[in-house]
Amino acid sequence: MTTVRIPEDWPATEEQARAVQDALRERVVLDEPGPPPGTGRVTGVDVAYDDARDVVAAAAVVLDAASLDVVAEATAVGRISFPYVPGLLAFREIPTVLAALGALPCEPGLVVCDGYGLAHPRRFGLACHLGVLTGLPTIGVAKNPFTFTFDDPDTPRGSTSALLAGSEEVGRALRTRDGVKPVFVSAGHRVTLANACAHTLALTPAYRLPETTRRADALCREALRKAYAD
């Protein structure tokens, strides 16, 4: 487990954080297809908070994209690096997530975030932010639609509907299990929306949420418990 300090130049105010988003958003790449689904490696990242101690734990879990077997994993624990502000949640997590990714013994391949990419009020969610900073292909798979609207997808697995900000498609509601509540997929960096949905389906053979997210969620919670175990 890696212990993380908040970078000295990290934004301290909402105004500073939004300025960073504005500057980095111009570097998001959306015209690359990304790696073919079911090939290479795919890595899930997730975080768990201990607000009483002002601490966040991050986990990165690398899976073989074909078998979904675990290839490698790493964790990091650090101070929460920004106050809770809707639309700026990435600033609370990124230093620790970057540390977990950096501690991996292998290349992560595609990174799947438990959250948003373009499906974000400023079109720069965690998946976009992380992708731009690392250069890695990234997607966001969220549990809810945030502030956006959508029609319920058809019942069968694989059905989709547009996730809309007015008339703009910022992602898709994707049914990963027959008749089960959809997840909300958006492109982050260097992956198209269509391929982001295909990757999500490849990662959900048995459950609503991707295996990357399920395993990273369990690992970051375990890391948080171990960090302060008596």
**Which has the closest alpha carbon to 99: 162, 5, 193?**
5
Q: Tokens 């502000």 map to which residue?
A: 85
CA distances from residue 152 to 65, 160, 175 in whole angstroms, order as listed: 28, 8, 9
Task: Give the three-class secondary structure for 23.
Answer: helix
Cα 210 to Cα 80: distance, rounded to the nearest angstrom: 26
Alpha carbon dihedral 204, 169, 45, 192, in 10-degree steps, equals: 80
46 marked as part of a ligand binding site: yes
217 is in an annotated binding site: no
Task: Give the annotated binding-site residues for Mg(2+).
Answer: 46, 114
Task: Give the annotated binding-site residues.
Answer: 46, 114
